[in-house]
């Protein structure tokens, strides 16, 4: 299918009420008064960020979700995305494109986000780059740099599940990008498949934490590494209570070293990690009783990450995902 037919047929569904979307040289966004533009981009490469067997719908969904998660981590309200699609000819089929675009639009609809432009090229390797834009009231974005001594460290949900799922289907993490058998992905239990392929960006929680959280990050590379970014950028340390970290039952059933490995180093869950004062936490919980928050530690003056298990210090290697 030609580039323009492909764009018209699969990626031109959305219209902006207050701007211009797909079809001109650029999209146009009209920012509201007193808002700042918050913008991020993330690339997914076949065989590197998802196994080659992954269904087109899941690829489209996750490519959007990981970007919305970055916006959530700043407390931003997502507005729109751009999609740069590098497509092998094997994937240029009506079936693949309609499922992929449905995944893109399903993730967009979850957060009232519009696809307003992009780029489409032929490539040997399926590569999806999404740029996401959102808005935040001037000066109110939550960054990694504001953690204060005495803050409670919280996360929004279980960590380690996606990397545990990936571990079940791969023989070798740095292998050829295929699952160990053609059906390994399909055979995963549903909740593991969802954790790996359909992460929920914590957009509502992120926005609601404005005015409460001092610092925030989304957990894409592992709790230890991502919390580590908050600590180094805030010039503080933290104490983590390992037994308070919420885990999937299958991970909880593992021997401690393996369990803690997934909890601390497992990436790709896209939960939020944030810090706030005890008083603000109590207020937040009273006002948002349905939003799940897990208290897992405290910000302290001593630099670095101290790990405790039932109040006893534990020494564990913390690595997180290494891209290179
Ligand atoms: P140009 O040549 O001026 O860069 P293109 O021909 O690449 O423009 O794109 C035409 C229009 O289609 C533009 O509005 C662009 O944003 C949009 N577009 C191209 N590829 C995609 C895509 N994969 N998803 C959404 N919009 C796209
Ligand atoms: Mg042009």
| Residue closest by Cα to atom 18 of ligand 1 | 118
Q: Quick: pLDDT tens for 179-219.
A: 999 999 999 999 999 999 999 999 999 999 999 999 999 99
Ligand 1 site, residue 104, Cβ cutoff 6 A: no
Q: Quick: pLDDT tens for 57-73.
A: 999 999 999 999 999 99
Q: Which of 63, 148, 143 is nearest to 100 (CA)?
A: 63
- Average pLDDT of the segment spanning 216-233: 96
Distance 108 CA to ligand 2 centre (A): 25
Predicted confidence band of residue 109 (pLDDT cuts 50, 70, 90): very high
The Cα–Cα gap between 80 and 26 comes to: 13
The Cα–Cα gap between 100 and 98 comes to: 6
pLDDT at position 160? 97
Nearest atom, ligand 1, residue 24 CA: 14
Predicted confidence band of residue 23 (pLDDT cuts 50, 70, 90): confident
Q: Quick: pLDDT tens for 135-167.
A: 999 999 999 999 999 999 999 999 999 999 999
The Cα–Cα gap between 88 and 127 comes to: 9
- The span from the first CA to the last CA of the chain, in angstroms, equals 36
Least confident interval from 11-15, 188-192, 244-248: 11-15
How many CB atoms lie under 10 A from the CB of residue 67?
Answer: 27
| Residue closest by Cα to atom 24 of ligand 1 | 118
DSSP string, 118-158: EEEEE-SS-EEEEEEEEEEETT----SS---TTPEEEESS-
The Cα–Cα gap between 183 and 160 comes to: 22
pLDDT at position 102? 98
């Amino acid at each position: 299918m030609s580039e323009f037919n492909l764009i018209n047929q699969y990626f031109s569904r959305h219209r902006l009420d207050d701007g211009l979307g797909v079809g001109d040289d650029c999209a146009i966004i009209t920012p509201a008064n007193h808002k700042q533009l918050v913008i991020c981009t993330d690339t997914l490469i076949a065989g590197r960020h998802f196994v080659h067997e992954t269904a087109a719908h899941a690829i489209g969904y996750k490519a959007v979700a990981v970007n919305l998660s970055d916006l959530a981590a700043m407390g931003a309200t997502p507005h729109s995305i751009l999609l740069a699609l590098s497509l092998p000819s094997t994937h240029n089929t009506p079936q693949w494109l309609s499922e992929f675009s449905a995944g893109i639009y399903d993730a967009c609809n979850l957060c009232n986000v519009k696809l307003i432009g992009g780029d489409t090229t032929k490539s040997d390797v399926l590569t999806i780059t999404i740029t996401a834009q959102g808005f935040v009231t001037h000066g109110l974005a939550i960054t990694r740099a504001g953690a204060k001594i005495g803050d409670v460290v919280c996360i929004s949900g279980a960590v380690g599940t996606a990397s545990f799922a990936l571990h079940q289907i791969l023989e070798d993490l740095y292998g050829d990008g295929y699952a160990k058998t053609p059906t390994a992905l399909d055979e995963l239990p549903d909740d593991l498949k969802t954790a790996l392929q359909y992460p929920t960006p914590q957009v509502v929680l992120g926005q609601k934490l404005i005015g409460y959280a001092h610092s925030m990050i989304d957990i894409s590379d592992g709790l230890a590494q991502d919390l580590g970014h908050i600590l180094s950028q805030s010039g503080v340390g933290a104490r983590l209570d390992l037994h308070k970290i919420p885990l999937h039952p299958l991970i909880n059933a593992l021997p401690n070293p393996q369990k803690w490995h997934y909890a601390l180093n497992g990436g790709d869950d896209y939960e939020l990690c944030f810090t706030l004062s005890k008083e603000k936490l109590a207020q937040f919980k009273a006002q948002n009783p349905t939003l799940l928050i897990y208290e897992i530690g405290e910000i302290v003056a001593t630099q670095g990450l101290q790990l405790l298990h039932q109040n006893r210090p534990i020494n564990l290697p913390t690595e997180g995902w290494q891209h290179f």
